[in-house]
Amino acid sequence: MTRPEPRSYSDTIRLMFLGLEHTAIASPNPARLADWYVQHLGFWINYEYDGNYFVRATNGTIIEIIPSEGDRAPQKMKDPGIRHMAIAVQDFDAAYQELKQRGVHFLGEPYVNQGNRLVFFSDSDGNILHLIHRQKPLP
């Protein structure tokens, strides 16, 4: 199945905007949070400058972790703004057990939604993540 092309997009626009290059998280301790992603999810620190850390996942996605300023606002699942980052896995049970053994804080129990297995958890700063194994890829 091919993606329908919106009529308002010109070829120039489609070639200009390639997609997300990275997502940034502000942290009171960027080095500690970067290390959490390394130790718990197998990411690696791809680049670092002036206290900013770029961590890369096996599939090539990148998170930039930058120094935060001020106090953190409370985070609930449906508050406005970015709510979670989904971590794709091939073997849900093995990944879930590994995170449990590493002491990860889960926000609930695993469940199935439309054939997909998922569970929400948080990183060491309290950012919401979820582990997901899709029965079939998104279109």
In the chain, the domains with their CATH numbers are 1-71 (3.30.720.120), 73-139 (3.10.180.10)
For residue 28 the two structure tokens come to 């009171």
What is the Cα–Cα distance from 92 to 90, expressed in whole angstroms? 6
Tell me, what's the pLDDT at 5? 59
What is the Cα–Cα distance from 35 to 55, expressed in whole angstroms? 9
Q: Note whether 56 and 16 are within 8 A (CB).
A: no
- Sequential pLDDT tens for the chain (139 residues): 566 555 566 777 777 888 888 999 999 999 999 999 999 999 999 999 999 999 999 999 999 999 999 888 777 778 777 889 999 999 999 999 999 999 999 999 999 999 999 999 999 999 999 999 999 988 8
